[in-house]
Amino acid sequence: MEESVALAEETSASTSAGGGNLVYIAINGNLAGTFALVDSIKPSALHTVAALRAMKYRIVLLSGDREETARGVAKELGIDEVVSHMLPPDKEAFVRKLESEGRTVAFVGDGVNDAPALAAASAGIAMGAGTDVAKNAADILLMREDLNGLIQLIVLSRRIIAVIRQNLFWAFIYNMIGIPLAALGLLNPMFAALAMALSSVSVVSNSLRLKNVKKFREITKFSHS
């Protein structure tokens, strides 16, 4: 048998002001108590959002929670853009809309509701402790729950792209000089072999510099430079 419980409007408003999901307890049809369930924010999330803002990224919080709850979390994290009441198809549509505008979208999530958006994003990033559906839909999996890994991922990706471009540049220079000389018969085969070996050594040596990306302290310093 269902019973309706009268809720005082001011009670609901004052409780929801904290941004939590409300749970009401009634005894014999009378309101006996109210709980606000608030999502706990990891300390690493605050640092990650601050770092992303410093790197000039646009940050949007997509949440399936009530508007008050979503805005409360966004305010604590320092996120200006927030969209609440988002169902899985809504998140996917939001991501596809941004991509249709020519934007590159990285979506970070760990729940079942995030799977469609993770699959649709240019880079879907799932947390290691997330659901299997989210991990299977994502392109990248952060094995640790520390969100600072997202900053490590971005900075390491930037360095990898920079190293690839450097390697292509030097390989192009070697060939641009060596091939015409060899075609004109002005390059001794022994020197040509030596130049080819030096080209390979320079590419490998330059790539090995990526091993220096180990400590988050160094990565943070690089990301803000």
Statement to judge: residues 17 and 55 lie in one domain: no
pTM of the model: 0.71
Indicate if 81 and 135 belong to the same structural domain: yes
Task: Say how many domains are in the chain.
Answer: 3
Residues 70 and 98 in one domain: yes
3-state secondary structure at position 126: strand
Residues 113 and 67 in one domain: yes
pLDDT digits (tens, 9 = 90+) for 70-87: 888 898 899 999 999 999
DSSP code, position 55 = T
C-alpha 23/C-alpha 53 separation (Å) is 34
135 and 51 part of one domain: yes
Residues 124 and 155 in one domain: no
Q: Which of 104, 119, 147 is the last residue of a domain?
A: 147
Question: Is 189 in a helix, a strand, or coil?
Answer: helix
How crowded is residue 112: how many other Cβ atoms within 10 Å of its Cβ? 14
Band of pLDDT at residue 130, cut at 50, 70 and 90: confident
Same domain, 70 and 87: yes
Mean pLDDT across 43-54? 90
Same domain, yes or no: 208 and 127: no
Residues 8 and 69 grouped into a single domain? no
Domain range for 1 is 1-38
Higher-pLDDT residue of 33 and 21 is 33
Separation between Cα atoms, residue 215 and residue 225, nearest integer Å: 16
